[in-house]
């Protein structure tokens, strides 16, 4: 059954999601899962591309931007670039609803009014679609 996980952080800064994102990517890679990170836009994807390379000196998270290699193990995309055919997990950083075809959707939530409003809509939509819902307070 498909599922949606919501990780709620205490911070209101959207960038505070990035360290948790990298930890989730490391965990997914160790489980041989393919992940698509749905960013708000191309600029965020390009910023994350650099952030992930510099995350930890002893860490290696192989990834690519969607227009470079849509079949990489970890793909950083933005709306209109996301392919659901190759990836099992979508980590959604955008305010748009993640595509339905992913087995698992992960939303990283911060205490920003716009992000909270979008997340509430996402929660209701995923629930209506019959996903198993999980909530994690970080």
DSSP calls for the chain = --EEEEEE-S---GGGHHHHHHHHHHHHHHTT--EEEE-SSHHHHHHHHHHHHHS-TT-----EETTT-TTSSEEEE-TTS--SSS-SEEEE-SSSPPPTT-SEEEEEE-S-HHHHHHHHHHHHHHHHTTPEEEEEE-
Q: Does domain 3-137 have CATH number 3.40.50.10110?
A: yes
Where do the structural domains in the chain lie, given as residue ranges?
A: 3-137
- Please report the pLDDT score of residue 69 as a whole number: 74
Q: What tens-digit pLDDT sequence spans the chain (138 residues)?
A: 699 999 999 999 999 999 999 999 999 999 999 999 999 999 999 999 999 999 888 888 999 998 887 678 999 999 888 776 777 999 999 999 999 889 999 999 999 999 999 999 999 999 999 999 999 998
């Amino acid at each position: 059954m498909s599922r949606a996980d919501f990780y709620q952080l205490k911070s209101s800064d959207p960038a505070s999601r990035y360290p948790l994102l990298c930890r989730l990517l490391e965990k997914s890679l160790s489980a041989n899962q393919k992940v698509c990170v749905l960013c708000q836009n191309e600029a965020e994807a390009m910023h994350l591309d650099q952030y992930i390379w510099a995350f930890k000196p002893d860490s290696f998270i192989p990834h690519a931007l969607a227009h470079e290699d849509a079949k990489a193990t970890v793909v950083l995309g933005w709306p209109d670039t996301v392919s659901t055919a190759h990836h099992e997990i979508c980590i959604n950083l955008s305010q748009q609803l993640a595509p339905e075809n992913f087995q698992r959707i992960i939303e990283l939530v911060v205490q920003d009014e716009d992000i909270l409003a979008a997340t509430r809509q996402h929660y209701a939509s995923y629930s209506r679609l019959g996903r198993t819902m999980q909530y994690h307070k970080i």
